[in-house]
Amino acid sequence: MSKAHVVISGGGTGVGAETARQFAYAGYRVTILGRTEETLVAQGLPYQICDVADALAVKTAFEKARKAQGPITIVVANAGAARSLPFAKMSAADLTAMTDVNLTGVFNVWQAALSDMKAAKSGRMIAIASTAGLKGYPYVSGYCAAKHGVVGLTRALSLELAATGITVNAICPGFIETPLLERSIENIVSKTGMSAEDAAKSLSKGNPQRRFIQTDEVAATALWLCSDAARSINGHALSLSGGEI
């Protein structure tokens, strides 16, 4: 599948940008999606601007990507967002904000790619979920609920498509060293008065290796899932967490 066309959402920064780089280096045709043109342009790859929570915008972006680079046989649903808030202070709008990007966004990009994969009788659907899809964490219940939804969607869809040549999997990293993590650390510092170093330690201590996951680890896992060696890996939520879960 080394000449396949892969679409990666949230491709302008962090895990998405690293994943795009690794796929491009491996010879894939890559299209990245995101909301901010500046970060997309910086990657030097074909891109489409869209909000993954907007189904029509996603459909339009996929149509343009397909016209530019051909049918899509791999999709990596990476776009995501997290917000820390005690459950008692959450509103329904706060929960919806988390599910819109983290769960509905996965649904939208997967559905937009499905017709090409069915036609080819081959494909890879990958979601970048989180260990928050496999266990709970305090003060991010909306995020956890959304990521658990992604894992459920993965497991159900993998069975629905199992006989079609399409595999569906989720990658579940622990805390990843990205701008999103930096914002989490800043949030802890502002609310507790803790130093940035101590705040980082409080987050990394859940990993038995006492470190943060790196973007290249997630990207390499996605790349492996698209190899022939992974053709029987289907319906899994692969934990990248140093043994946390």
Q: What is the total count of domains within the chain?
A: 2
Query: Three-state SS string across the chain, please?
Result: CCCCEEEECCCCCHHHHHHHHHHHHCCCEEEEEECCHHHHHHCCCCEEECCCCCHHHHHHHHHHHHHHHCCCCEEEECCCCCCCCCHHHCCHHHHHHHHHHHHHHHHHHHHHHHHHHHHHCCEEEEEECCHHHCCCCCCCHHHHHHHHHHHHHHHHHHHHCHHHCEEEEEEEECCECCHHHHHHHHHHHHHHCCCHHHHHHHHHCCCCCCCCECHHHHHHHHHHHCCHHHCCCCCCEEEECCCCC
47 and 82 belong to one structural domain: yes
147 and 32 belong to one structural domain: yes
63 and 13 belong to one structural domain: yes
Q: What is the pLDDT of residues 102-138, one digit of tens each?
A: 999 999 999 999 999 999 999 999 999 999 999 999 9
- The alpha carbon of residue 48 and the mean position of all alpha carbons in its chain are separated, in whole angstroms, by 17
Average pLDDT, stretch 12-28?
Answer: 97
In a domain, 34, yes or no: yes
pLDDT at 163: 98
Mean per-residue pLDDT of the chain: 95
Structural domain for 119, as ranges: 5-174+213-237
Residue 94 binned pLDDT confidence (cut-offs 50, 70, 90):
very high
Average pLDDT, stretch 18-28?
Answer: 97
185 and 142 belong to one structural domain: no
189 and 150 belong to one structural domain: no
123 and 189 belong to one structural domain: no
Residue 1 has pLDDT above 50, yes or no: no
Report the Cα–Cα distance between both ends of the chain, in Å, rounded.
31
Spatial neighbors of 165 by CB under 8 A, at least 6 apart, are 117, 120, 121, 122, 123
List the structure tokens of 27: 């010879």
Lowest-confidence pick of 77-86, 98-107, 198-207: 198-207
pLDDT at 76: 98
Give catalytic residue positions: 143
pLDDT at 180: 73
In a domain, 192, yes or no: yes
